[in-house]
Amino acid sequence: MSRAGEAPHGGLRRRVYAVLEAGGASGWGEAWVRRLLVALVFVSVAGGVLNTVPDVFARWGLWLERLEIFALCVFWAEYVLRVWSAPEHTRYSELHPWRARWRLMREPLAVIDLLTILPLFVGVLFAGDFQVLLALRLLRFFKLARYSPGMRSLALALQTERRALGAAFLLLSGLVLLTASGMYLLEREAQPDKLGSIPAAMWWSIVTLTTVGYGDVIPVTVGGRMLAGVTSILGLVMLAMPVGVLATAFSQEIHRREFIVTWSMLARVPLFSHLTASEIGEIMDYLRAQTVPANTLVLRKGDVASCIYLVASGEVEVDTPEGPVRLGEGHFFGEIALLRGTKRTADVRAVEPTRLLVLDADDLSALMERDPVLRRRLESAADARRASTPDPEGEQKA
């Protein structure tokens, strides 16, 4: 079937895509659908865990199984709709609709979706023994990766550092083999039942290198104990290597995502629209982030002006003489009192949870010294605001 053949369903398909894949940004209804799916993941996973408790299963087993059947039906419908709307994905837009769907079905998250609905078919074919299928049911916890930016960043960090992590695992495997061979040579006669072969000694090596130390197998010879001490120290070093690699990659991924968001926001602010990408990057070094809860006072009338603010996300309300003015993402405020050298002339309050980028007065002065165009734009904006509003404190996006 060609894309043209599916044109009559294009509007509905785009709507389904917006609800399931595009972040639910087109309306509150879409956001609620996604929230309900997340809630159902938590409830169904909790139900699967409680199903293994004998007392809970004896009393609530029937209701838990009904909950599981309901969850499976919802997740089955979700999977079918995700596959059907695959041609609306930007990265698949040039493909034939069925080819786009096949590509989507091979993605890791789509595979997880499929595994979480397999119990529906297996249960029908094999009398619905949901206890046996518990492992597949609990896999749906990983469906939350669709809705968690943090989990997506972690997955990207794993993908980025897969070679380094693979090398660390290979080195750790070699160390397991080497220490197990040494312990076998030193302890095979003293403990033939526990360390009489290299495979048996590998259990001791893994437990020791991971610093778990169950104590079920311990060396009794002097040489074996010396090797055990060296192995324990090497274990600390080896485990720190992949942890450090992953932590660094995760931190860089979070920083990269925040950089992109902040850069795009700054590029939309008219004050900085004349700057090149490298110059915007330099300004970002001066900015510090500040998160403000809803209904929190950001600026108080009469305070000394020490910085200007840019709204990265959320919304603030400026109490001007003409009435309250709301400033959203991409707007900036607080610059007039700073340029005048006077105190704040209005209260500014966060309407909702808001993330602000703060530029201190000294840093702003340094930037204006380096960039005369920035100085002229800021002064022109302040003059225009003063001409239109007596003693305003906020400035909207021009």
3-state secondary structure of 121: helix
Q: How far apart are alpha carbons 1 and 171 in whole angstroms?
A: 51
Pick the CATH number of 277-395 from 3.30.930.10, 2.40.440.10, 2.60.120.10, 1.10.230.10: 2.60.120.10
The whole-model pTM stands at 0.55
Overall residue count recorded for the chain in this entry: 398
- Does the domain made of 4-147 have the CATH classification 2.60.40.1120? no
3-state secondary structure of 336: helix
Instruction: Give Cα 239 to chain centroid, integer Å.
Output: 24
Tokens linked to 202: 């590998």
What pLDDT, on the 0 to 100 scale, is given for residue 395?
A: 42
Tokens linked to 286: 């001066």
Of 247, 245, 201, the residue nearest 224 (C-alpha): 201
pLDDT 10s per residue in the chain (398 long)? 444 444 455 678 888 887 777 554 445 566 788 788 888 888 888 888 888 888 888 888 888 888 888 888 888 888 888 889 888 877 777 788 888 889 888 888 888 888 878 766 666 555 555 555 666 777 788 887 777 767 777 777 787 888 888 888 899 899 999 999 999 999 988 988 889 899 989 999 998 988 887 888 888 999 989 999 999 898 888 888 888 888 888 887 777 766 666 676 666 666 666 666 666 666 777 777 788 888 888 888 888 777 888 887 788 998 887 788 888 877 778 777 777 777 788 889 999 888 888 888 777 777 777 777 777 776 776 666 555 554 434 444 33
Residue ranges of the chain assigned to CATH 2.60.120.10: 277-395
Tokens linked to 121: 């078919």
What is the CATH class of 162-255? mainly alpha
Residue ranges of the chain assigned to CATH 1.10.287.70: 162-255
Residue ranges of the chain assigned to CATH 1.20.120.350: 4-147
Tokens linked to 355: 């993330």
What pLDDT, on the 0 to 100 scale, is given for residue 391?
A: 44
